[in-house]
Structure 1
Amino acid sequence: MKLLLNIKKENDDLGKQVNNLANKLPLTNYIKHCFAILLFACSLSIKAQQIPYNDGKAYTIGDIAVIGNTAFEAQTIVTYSGLQKGQAITIPGEEISAAIKKLWNSKLFSDIEIYLTKVEGDTAFLEIRLSDLPQLNELKINGVKKSKIEGIIKENKLEKGVKVTENLITTTKNYLTNKYQKDGFYNTKVLINTIDIKDSLATARVNMVINIDKGEKVKIDDIVINGNEVLSDKTLRKSMKNTKKKNILRFLKRSKYIEADYKEDLVSLIDKYKENGYRDARILSDSVIVNDNQTISLKIDLEEGEKYTFGDITFIGNTVYSNQYLNRILRIKKGDTYNGVLLQKRIADDTKPDGFDITNEYQNHGYLFSTINPVEVSADNNVIDMEIRIIEGKPAYFNTVSVVGNDKTNDHVIYREIRTRPGQLYSKANVVRTVRELGQLGFFDAQEISPDFKNANPNEGTIDMEYSVKETGSSQIELQGGYGGGGFIGTLGLSFNNFAIKDIFKKEAYKPIPMGDGQKLALRLQASRFYQTYSFSFSEPWMGGKRPVQFSSSLSHTKQFLYDYQTGNADKSRSFNITGITFGLAKRLTVPDDYFTLSQALSYQRYDLNNYNTGLFTFGDGFSNNLSYTVGLSRNNTSVDPIYPTGGSNFSVTAKLSFPYSLVNGVDYTALKNERDDNFAILTDPDATAAEQADANTRISEIDQERYNWLEFYKVKFKADWFAQVIPNTDLVLKPSVEFGFLGAYNQDRGVIPFERFFLGGDGLGSYSLDGREAIALRGYPNQSLSTNDGGTIYNKFSLELRYPITLKASAKIYGLTFLEGGASYNNFRDYNPFDLKRSAGVGLRIFMPAFGLLGIDFGHGFDNVPGDTEKSGWQTHFIIGQQF
């Protein structure tokens, strides 16, 4: 910016002399002009008698001229500057400085100067000289692949027409240099040139050429550590999490050199000493040595110092909590090896917002403004006495609590999940829990939810809380086609996860559908040559609006046709129909804690068989009724993102029970079983006549129709998942899981029903056999291949999954995974062996897009054989739609 007031006067070249002197000095443009102003002011003080009008005298602007290379109208520039003809100004004074500043802040001009061209009595004539900032015309980027150019343009906002400023050039250069240095190109050089375009257009334009020379990728050949005797080189190198030397066995951490990571790792190296009692350890020097083979070596000289232990630890200033209680939280005793890192974590663990430390204990009980500082008061004989000085401050209360960013979701849906209320005592735990609950809704980007403190007033003990959210698409559409079950399968599904049923008859609410009340509505249609299925479901998470009691309902109908082995087509005259309806209630509990949910459901299914004879059912014509009650207890404290949890656990245990009809219906099932066994013996007797076998088969069907008229069973299932960060504050997550299921009968003479069974193996998405079965995933094996044809009555499964995110943006969450898992299916407890498993391992990818839900692919290798085969299963490919393992 040129803050220069030039004075043109015949026979007076003072301004020119000052400018010439400033331009001869090796200064930046900005400093040159500041220097020119200084010289000009000094000269004025010497020649004041020659320039009497430059003594802060008041003038009236006679006229303002505008010259320079600009596409703007002169009157537009004058108006924007704030100066106007007839205005009273002081020369020198604030008016001209303010006008220059205002023009500069518009970010439209360069070389802004205002000249005093003429003085007539008390009238001053001004001239504004400026040039438009040039616009970017063409951009050429050399040194990178063509596929990368679009990303560079977008990330640096280098679109055609953008104003080319020094700041734009500098930030672009720094961005590209840092970008490639982070990828291991330590010697990256970026050169940016601009070329003025000389044409007839009034607008100033430039072409820009960016030359990127990444050089060779620089890897770390060796890390040499000198001065260490207590801790080994291996231990110290391991403490450097992001800086590793070359090793062909390492694939999670590359050996590229990134200066910022290296500096951070030097701190980690000293922290490793502090964890072991050496509080005086320090880096004496570190250097980067460039080798001849395009690698570098790092040399670190350090001094370990002496080992220290903790002495007396005294708390000062605490009135809310006793010394004994604070000592229980600190968990450090006199005589323990000094550990400065552990001490800091026990006082305030920045890696765990809900950690068990002294700071959180105070903040969870209202003392937001408390400060806790550990101070060493003595270090005699390498024994450190500590004072932990506490300033408790006033308890803080929420004054206002607000939410911003929700354009679609109604306020009451959010506020009912918020655990911080106006007038309530501040609690950090409640703030952390609120962030989790809002993330679990699925309506907002869990990575973007931010609790912001506003207007904190330690004197009055009040604070305003504002939760900032970013909404994501909460409706999903499923439209797909594929081949399976012997034919083409078409699916149309609509899922509205933030529905508002109260607005269903309001025309203006369809944008495109009524939304905002947090309800869920799903419609699904799937059809092929062999079956059709229709389903509808609706749930309200806060029935009545006052308590977190979820009401859910679903209605479904499926129709399956028998496969004709002669024609290979579906026989439409032979069908198996299932119609079902379910109502459920789920209530959030308060004990043992409010992560628990008690759920209950009442369901009814009607199975109709029309000339549908298979190996599973012994009667081809008839029906079965399934009236059952399901009760479940679950606990979910995963955080924060439901798509990619990084901590917590999720477990559930459910029991599905039918009424024990055999106790009250007066049927002698022992006699029926004996009669069935007798007829089955006739049916399998090679000496029996055809008529006898036909009669026996008819009687077996009649007996089974009576046995399965009303289904009698109980089914128990258990599932648990855990999530843990492998390295604190990273997104590398380990997920162990365990599952178990058992289907039993009250009356052994009546037997286990042919429905509700477990079919293990494959992707877990089920198949075209819609007989109430449960498909259990076990990757690395074909679908449902690890159970018998009739399905298992017992199964167990164990898995271990390692996940790493590629991106967790709201538009698409993508993560990769590797897995180990094993499981098995059994028909009775006599054969049950939880350690006799079918094992597999593999890799996979998951993509979650709000409009389409979860999609994925897994490549699993089965190490064992499928029952009936002698060869191991080998590699299997699984496509995942709408679920997670």
Structure 2
Amino acid sequence: MGKQVNNLAKNISTTSYLKNCIAILFFISFFNVSSQNSNFIEGKKYTLGEVSVAGNTAFSEQTIIAYSGLRKGQEITIPGEDIGNAIKKLWNSKLFSDIEVYVTKIEDNVAYLQIKLFDLPQLNELKVKGVKKGKVEGIVKENKLTKGTKVTENLITTTKNFLTKKYKKEGFLNTKVHINTIEVQDTVKASRVNMVLNIDKGEKVKIKDITFKGNDVLSDKKLRKSMKGTKKINPIRVLKRSKFIDSSYQADLGHVIDTYKENGYRDARILSDSLIYNDDKTISLVIKVNEGEQYTFGDIKFIGNTVYTNEQLSRLLRIRKGDTYNGILLQKRIADNSKPDAQDITNQYQNNGYLFSSVNPVEVSADNNVIDIEVRISEGKPAYFNSVSVVGNDKTNDHVIYRELRTRPGQLYSKANVVRTVRELGQLGFFDAQQITPNFNNPNPVEGTIDMEYAVQETGSSQIELQGGYGGGGFIGTLGLSFNNFSIKDIFKKEAYKPIPMGDGQKLSLRLQASRFYQTYSFSFSEPWLGGKRPVQFSTSLSHTKQFLYDYTTGNADKSRSFNITGLTFGLAKRLSVPDDYFTLSQAVSYQRYDLNNYNTGLFTFGDGFSNNLSYTFGLSRNNTSVDPIFPTGGSNFAFSAKFSLPYSLFNGVDYEQLSDDYDDAVERRNNADSTADIEYIEATNDITEIDQKRFNWLEFYKVKFSGEWYTQITKNLVLRPKIEFGFLGAYNNARGVIPFERFYLGGDGLGNFSLDGREVIQLRGYPNQSLTHLDETTGQASQDGSSIYNKFSLELRYPITLKASAKIYALGFIEGGSSYENFRDFDPFNIKRSAGLGIRIFMPAFGLLGIDFGHGFDPLPGQTTKNGWETHFIIGQQF
């Protein structure tokens, strides 16, 4: 064949390229030329003649020669740089598994070369064994094993390593991955292989025991407790399993040392750690420690502080001479990186303008196990905001955002104000709360200025509800539109409809629902900054509902018998500054007219006539939950409200005690009648209706409600939310009694689709909807009229699955309990109906919050003797 210039081994990795270049020159220098090339002189310059291509490749000869850079008539040295560069170019294309260059002949001063190469095989078909079918697609994407991919040794090695590490992280410590390639025998010129990927995960390796050696001061139990991600087998533990994950284990070794440091043993070390395989396929961990000696704090001096006195800083540090040394606590009191609003020295400076300050604790002496500390402070120059801007708001108008900012140009820098601004922008609901980023630009320590930029990402803030279903004996259709970032000033501007006028932060909602038996129409509008200068929210709503009585003989709606409700509400809510600016004071005036036209049911004591409800509502709330309103991870939310009507019985001249006696007398006469056709029954019924019309012509009542909830982040991905609720509906005049409207209905999913009478539907999962009312003294069954008192306790544990802008999904577990009563004589806040269960919530910007809960009721329904058992609840448009 001629003189071989190079023969690279197949599948040489890129990192070994230089070594192979040296090998090329070695072969050129020491291999003897063949007899047909006896006139070849090493190191001589030749004119390049023809260059040919051989081997197995799908590329054309012209393409390969052109890519190599070798051209006919070129003057080259053999061996030399030109040939080396040609090989390098071809090799760097990562298209070939083998490249060989030959001198085929020498004529006069002309050298003829041949490039022999072989294409890297392409992946034709992939089979994955050892995992579920649903996991195969993820493996293909993660390792880029799509059809046509060039199969190299590097690809095979990295795929093996990736999958081995992946499953070891999941606790499969003995994972083995085998990859076989089989050449495809066909007429296609390109080299192709089928790949078989065999994954043997084995069983999850659990930790049977964790023991420590050399620990005299701290017990094994205490040290094991400090290991957050590495736990030994415990059948009663649910949240932390005992699988072994090396990365978690290495981190936990650091946590063991931190535990020693927290107890004064700053010199503690891990001497060795061993992993022992047991016969029962578990492992045991043996960790040998050197505890060292215990230290205490000595003198703590502050150096460089001029803004704050030593006494002020000592109160923040809260560490005294003689305290057991705790390096972890010391660092947290200097700068707690886990809490942006922590009460530490760094934040004290940062919140008061000293952006460029630094606080560093330094150990200056450790004599006799007493550590003296110098807290060295460089205060720097106070910083002021030079410019403040927001980027990323494509739909929301600038003024809507800027009015929520707590940082202004020329204002003294405050970290607390930056954190609060991020929270306020997230609470608007117009942006992805997880993506709001404060960017510090152009910091200038000399001039004491900083440019502040908040980067936001718009999310869909409008929602549509379009659904149909079968319920209540007929088809129910619903159309709901909610525009949460509306702009009413642009409503008559044609160019503003993209598809609707948006950007001013107003809320507009329209909802229509209809079936054979009822029709509901509602409209609401709110402006969060009335007048545009202060956070005073104006809101109004208008609604009308018509309900037709069900005719049991025909199964249709009797449209001659109806119950209509028309309501109008105006409200104002003002953000307060005292006690702090998380408080909101709200006030509202509302009017409802209840009109009954021959509508006799068990819900009301009269079937003809009307009632008027004119009321005033006062509310005080405090909400300091964290940035994301869909998935808060911290803070609390408290709300108190009181709703009042006028005390009509004080000035309308009606003797309600006499009216009550007349009512009891009419009821007795009706009960004593022989039949419903008896004239006595009819007259008594008419008297009852007339008396009820006087009692409830203008509704007289007061209503008090309270709710409180807290959010605590137990770990990075677990949030605990306890909540308490209480409600009471009372009467000014006991002779007049508690009204049949505005009552509480406990139980079920909490969705009030049929709240025709102003009722409040209270969620208590694990029981049927509105089933947990008090017992009726007459029938001994659950009352259909609702209750005047309720209380409820709940505890939820939430886990986020994804918090992306397109969809926020979290799972939850809950336990809760509650009960309702007709009067305080029977009230017992701890005699409750209990339940527990699991659920999931999905928030999509276009549809709002959706969810499903599976709740188990542990107690019987009122009037029954066996526990209720499992219930399924669907959640639409509400958050609990």
TM-score scaled to structure 1, two decimals?
Answer: 0.85
Which segment is superposed worse, 849-858 or 396-405? Answer: 396-405
Q: Identify the match of residue 782 of structure 1 among 744, 768, 771.
A: 768
Matched with 1:701 is: 689
User: How far did 1:289 drift?
Assistant: 1.5
Q: Identify the match of residue 257 of structure 2 among 252, 270, 289.
A: 270
User: How far did 1:551 drift?
Assistant: 2.6
User: How far did 1:715 drift?
Assistant: 1.2
**How many residues align structurally?**
860
Matched with 2:517 is: 530
Matched with 2:436 is: 449
Aligned-residue identity in percent = 75
Q: How does 1:108-123 map to 2 (within 5 A)?
A: none
Q: How does 1:625-636 map to 2 (within 5 A)?
A: 625-636=612-623
Note if 1:740 corresponds to 2:721. no
The 1:116–1:770 alpha-carbon spacing in structure 2 relative to 1, beyond 3 Å, is farther
Q: Is the 8 A contact 1:196 1:205 kept in 2?
A: yes
Q: How does 1:488-637 map to 2 (within 5 A)?
A: 488-507=475-494, 509-637=496-624
Q: How does 1:363-512 map to 2 (within 5 A)?
A: 363-482=350-469, 484-485=471-472, 488-507=475-494, 509-512=496-499
Note if 1:821 corresponds to 2:816. yes
Matched with 2:679 is: 691
Q: How does 1:246-261 map to 2 (within 5 A)?
A: 246-261=233-248
Q: Identify the match of residue 857 of structure 1 among 840, 852, 856.
A: 852
Aligned amino acid, residue 808 of structure 1: L
Per-residue CA deviations over 1:140-190 (Å, capped at 9, x if unaligned) read 322212121122223444444556677765554443222211221112233
Per-residue CA deviations over 1:59-111 (Å, capped at 9, x if unaligned) read 9x999999999888999999999999999x9x999999999999999988999
User: How far did 1:357 drift?
Assistant: 1.2
The 1:104–1:460 alpha-carbon spacing in structure 2 relative to 1, beyond 3 Å, is farther
Which segment is superposed worse, 310-319 or 489-498? Answer: 489-498
- Name the SS for the 2:173 alignment partner: coil
Aligned amino acid, residue 554 of structure 1: S
User: How far did 1:205 drift?
Assistant: 5.9
- Name the SS for the 1:872 alignment partner: coil
Q: Is the 8 A contact 1:646 1:731 kept in 2?
A: no
Q: Identify the match of residue 843 of structure 2 among 824, 842, 848.
A: 848
Matched with 1:238 is: 225
Note if 1:714 corresponds to 2:698. no
- Name the SS for the 1:817 alignment partner: strand
Matched with 1:4 is: none
Whole-Å separation in 2 of the counterparts to 1:629 and 1:79 = 87
Matched with 1:755 is: 741
Aligned amino acid, residue 459 of structure 2: T
Q: Is the 8 A contact 2:673 2:681 kept in 1?
A: no
The 1:589–1:156 alpha-carbon spacing in structure 2 relative to 1, beyond 3 Å, is farther
Whole-Å separation in 2 of the counterparts to 1:166 and 1:436 = 50
Matched with 1:8 is: none
Which segment is superposed worse, 619-628 or 337-346? Answer: 619-628
- Name the SS for the 2:859 alignment partner: strand
- Name the SS for the 2:835 alignment partner: strand
Q: Is the 8 A contact 2:25 2:79 kept in 1?
A: no
Q: Identify the match of residue 287 of structure 2 among 290, 300, 307.
A: 300
Which segment is superposed worse, 552-561 or 694-703? Answer: 694-703
Matched with 2:831 is: 836
- Name the SS for the 2:434 alignment partner: coil
Whole-Å separation in 2 of the counterparts to 1:92 and 1:455 = 56
Note if 1:312 corresponds to 2:299. yes
Q: Is the 8 A contact 2:604 2:785 kept in 1?
A: no
The 1:469–1:116 alpha-carbon spacing in structure 2 relative to 1, beyond 3 Å, is farther
User: How far did 1:244 drift?
Assistant: 0.9
Q: Is the 8 A contact 2:508 2:524 kept in 1?
A: yes
- Name the SS for the 1:726 alignment partner: strand
The 1:292–1:703 alpha-carbon spacing in structure 2 relative to 1, beyond 3 Å, is same
Q: Is the 8 A contact 1:542 1:548 kept in 2?
A: yes
Matched with 1:6 is: none
Whole-Å separation in 1 of the counterparts to 2:831 and 2:243 = 44
Whole-Å separation in 2 of the counterparts to 1:506 and 1:403 = 26
Whole-Å separation in 2 of the counterparts to 1:45 and 1:71 = 32
User: How far did 1:717 drift?
Assistant: 0.8
The 1:509–1:199 alpha-carbon spacing in structure 2 relative to 1, beyond 3 Å, is farther
- Name the SS for the 2:450 alignment partner: strand
Aligned amino acid, residue 822 of structure 1: G
User: How far did 1:478 drift?
Assistant: 2.9
The 1:711–1:210 alpha-carbon spacing in structure 2 relative to 1, beyond 3 Å, is same
Matched with 1:799 is: 794
Q: Is the 8 A contact 1:738 1:798 kept in 2?
A: yes
User: How far did 1:714 drift?
Assistant: 1.8
Whole-Å separation in 2 of the counterparts to 1:570 and 1:115 = 96
Whole-Å separation in 2 of the counterparts to 1:405 and 1:202 = 52
Whole-Å separation in 1 of the counterparts to 2:877 and 2:327 = 47
Whole-Å separation in 2 of the counterparts to 1:129 and 1:510 = 66
Matched with 1:138 is: 125
Matched with 1:3 is: none
Whole-Å separation in 2 of the counterparts to 1:155 and 1:543 = 52
Q: Is the 8 A contact 1:475 1:497 kept in 2?
A: yes
Aligned amino acid, residue 445 of structure 1: D
Whole-Å separation in 2 of the counterparts to 1:724 and 1:226 = 36
Any stretches of 5+ residues in structure 2 without a counterpart? 31-40, 106-110, 774-782
The 1:38–1:502 alpha-carbon spacing in structure 2 relative to 1, beyond 3 Å, is farther
- Name the SS for the 1:718 alignment partner: strand
User: How far did 1:763 drift?
Assistant: 1.7
Aligned amino acid, residue 611 of structure 1: N
Whole-Å separation in 1 of the counterparts to 2:605 and 2:25 = 109
TM-score scaled to structure 2, two decimals?
Answer: 0.86
Whole-Å separation in 2 of the counterparts to 1:676 and 1:774 = 28
Whole-Å separation in 2 of the counterparts to 1:68 and 1:516 = 66
Q: Is the 8 A contact 1:814 1:846 kept in 2?
A: yes
Whole-Å separation in 1 of the counterparts to 2:562 and 2:539 = 30
Which segment is superposed worse, 127-136 or 168-177? Answer: 127-136
User: How far did 1:343 drift?
Assistant: 1.2
Q: Is the 8 A contact 1:275 1:339 kept in 2?
A: yes
- Name the SS for the 1:435 alignment partner: helix
User: How far did 1:575 drift?
Assistant: 0.7
Matched with 2:871 is: 876
Q: Identify the match of residue 209 of structure 2 among 203, 215, 222.
A: 222
The 1:767–1:467 alpha-carbon spacing in structure 2 relative to 1, beyond 3 Å, is closer
The 1:444–1:769 alpha-carbon spacing in structure 2 relative to 1, beyond 3 Å, is closer
Q: Is the 8 A contact 2:356 2:381 kept in 1?
A: yes
| Root-mean-square deviation over aligned CA pairs | 4.3
Q: Is the 8 A contact 1:225 1:301 kept in 2?
A: yes
Whole-Å separation in 1 of the counterparts to 2:384 and 2:628 = 28
User: How far did 1:129 drift?
Assistant: 10
The 1:104–1:508 alpha-carbon spacing in structure 2 relative to 1, beyond 3 Å, is farther
- Name the SS for the 2:257 alignment partner: helix
Matched with 1:35 is: 19
Aligned amino acid, residue 849 of structure 1: M
Per-residue CA deviations over 1:611-642 (Å, capped at 9, x if unaligned) read 11223433322222222222211111111322
Which segment is superposed worse, 349-358 or 537-546? Answer: 537-546
Which segment is superposed worse, 756-765 or 432-441? Answer: 432-441
Aligned amino acid, residue 316 of structure 2: I
